[in-house]
Structure 1
């Protein structure tokens, strides 16, 4: 199993950039961009299904909150940004697309502080295969050597580019070791999340997932909680220690890019994709197209 075969890149079409549509081939970012050097950037990863961006408003609100946490504002208002996403999708001609919205501090000064550097915003879209290739056995997860930071050391509720450095290193190391992704613990050694997805476990027909107090609020995670409530499936949000993982028989990860994917192994600990996982996968595939569950 491996990540999708096509690269995550938009090779043609228009990008929305600071209020205007620009051909992707004509876009460029100055080398002395603050966000490139110091990580003053936030982003959202979204998906469009059937010509509609799934949970678009929730993503834009989270993007605005991430901006606020890093000390700057989205340079346009909520509805203007929502309309920009809709128009970018329409211009692309795609019904199914990956959506990347990003806001960053640009050039103008290159000290650690951002000063009066311009705040930029862009929206790009491209076709995307499944993040992971389907398999009946589920994903194989490594355990990351890196831990998620505590809330008093980083803006953990922001989807900030700089916070993804340890995710990138963890993902790359997992691939080098022959795994599909990596599970990360938090600063106290508790089960946290994968490099770009939240994690759920199942035992006796009930779901268990780590509390999101010190992690970004997952929009797909919230969708799974909604599905579980509609299906009458018990969900417990709790502290999960590594040695507890052996008490669960099913496991899956969720995220806007990965969607809902079964897990078959976490570094030697075996899980069997079962009835609950299959139910959540099926219901999510209905929900993302606006179909009733």
Structure 2
């Protein structure tokens, strides 16, 4: 059914670059209630969507983006103004962090590595036994509708799948209809200058949640472990923190993956380090991380090796950089009080420039 329109020592960063654009929205199908269950009363009544046509036309210009003055958000089958986009207080995504999400970039109006993000979203949901009531193809169309409705050429998409409206208590069976939300907006993690100078990070004192307790490859709505490490970074005057496993292995940062350059070769912790996936390496398998390993590094004639590493290996690096959907590629010239490089290193710059060349071209990879 169609959507109802209606450093070194000092911290330095860059907000990467803003992104994606949008083309006239096509209609996305409305999620069907699972097992014929009716939509919770807390969801927006259909009549609200009738107000949207006039609201969708109110835009302001910001750089190359035509930004909606009152952004529209896709919530359970309807595009609604931001201030009307609501979920039930009984939604288990809110009550218990029961759900999954994806952060996705839009460049030149195209969804970067869209299929890779969709694969991860549905894979993570399956690990939680969470049925997404929208097909992957329809989910892609929902995103396109959102970026078009909000006039976004360069930006960020946040997909959220919640367990849905239920009762008090953990039982997921009490949530018959999962919630589906799509936000298309802007994001800027770090000051723009950091992308040339790099930014200082710390090593968090708080270790990663043990893999035996929670698979870090699930991008769930519960980020408390990462948030507490982020608080450590903020209190230290930094934007990011490196997180170690309980055994002292380098895993990732609070929101980014980490790479080390030594003697012209690229190293990064593996997502899995054990037989039959029993022992995960303690990190989320980032889409940008995989793009660097499989595509960007080969383009730049740089060898890559996934390997377990302790802090001494990291601290003796020639260069360090982080990757992430929102962060893109950003250098780390200092960890705690140890200087790694004088600003952004040569190979980090080479990779970052190649990345920017790709995402500002007419051939944005959407696979």
Query: What TM-score results when the alignment is normalised by the length of structure 2?
Result: 0.74
Q: Deviation at 1:291?
A: 5.6
Question: RCO greater where, 1 or 2, for CA within 8 Å and sep 6 or more?
Answer: 2
Residues 1:80 and 2:149 aligned together: no
Structure 1 residues 102-117: aligned runs within 5 Å: 102-117=160-175
**Matched residue SS, 1:115:** helix
Max radius of gyration: which structure?
2
Q: Deviations over 1:54-93 (max 9, x none)?
A: 1111111111111111111111101000111111111111
From 339, 348, 355, give the equivalent of 1:284.
355
Whole-Å separation in 2 of the counterparts to 1:77 and 1:292? 26
Q: Deviation at 1:290?
A: 4.5
Unaligned runs of 5+ in 2: 1-11, 16-67, 273-279
Whole-Å separation in 1 of the counterparts to 2:110 and 2:173? 37
**Matched residue SS, 1:188:** coil
Q: Which residue of 2 aligns with 1:179?
A: 238
Q: Which residue of 2 aligns with 1:60?
A: 118
Which consecutive segments of 4 or more residues in structure 1 shift more than 4 A? Answer: 1-4, 290-293
> Given that residues 266 and 303 in structure 2 are in contact (C-alpha distance below 8 angstroms), is that contact kept between their aligned partners in structure 1?
yes
Q: Which residue of 1 aligns with 2:18?
A: none
Residues 1:271 and 2:340 aligned together: yes
Q: Deviation at 1:152?
A: 2.0
Q: Which residue of 2 aligns with 1:126?
A: 185
Whole-Å separation in 1 of the counterparts to 2:113 and 2:284? 16
Structure 1 residues 130-209: aligned runs within 5 Å: 131-135=190-194, 136-162=196-222, 164-209=223-268
Q: Deviation at 1:125?
A: 1.1
Q: Which residue of 2 aligns with 1:7?
A: none
Q: Which residue of 2 aligns with 1:236?
A: 305
Q: Deviations over 1:137-158 (max 9, x none)?
A: 3111111122223332113221
Unaligned runs of 5+ in 1: 5-9
Q: Which residue of 1 aligns with 2:46?
A: none
Given the superposition, is the C-alpha separation of residues 89 and 23 from structure 1 closer, same or farther in structure 2, using an over 3 Å criterion? same
Given the superposition, is the C-alpha separation of residues 170 and 11 from structure 1 closer, same or farther in structure 2, using an over 3 Å criterion? farther
Q: Deviation at 1:230?
A: 2.2
Q: Which residue of 2 aligns with 1:216?
A: 284
Whole-Å separation in 2 of the counterparts to 1:132 and 1:62? 29
Q: Deviation at 1:11?
A: 7.1
> Given that residues 46 and 256 in structure 1 are in contact (C-alpha distance below 8 angstroms), is that contact kept between their aligned partners in structure 2?
yes
Superposition CA RMSD, Å:
1.9
Given the superposition, is the C-alpha separation of residues 142 and 11 from structure 1 closer, same or farther in structure 2, using an over 3 Å criterion? farther
> Given that residues 131 and 257 in structure 1 are in contact (C-alpha distance below 8 angstroms), is that contact kept between their aligned partners in structure 2?
no
**Matched residue SS, 1:148:** coil
Whole-Å separation in 2 of the counterparts to 1:173 and 1:267? 12
Greater mean alpha carbon deviation, residues 153-162 or residues 252-261: 153-162
Whole-Å separation in 1 of the counterparts to 2:169 and 2:328? 39
Q: Which residue of 2 aligns with 1:30?
A: 88
- Count how many residue pairs are aligned between Structure 1 and Structure 2: 287
Q: Which has the higher strand share?
A: 1
Residues 1:258 and 2:327 aligned together: yes
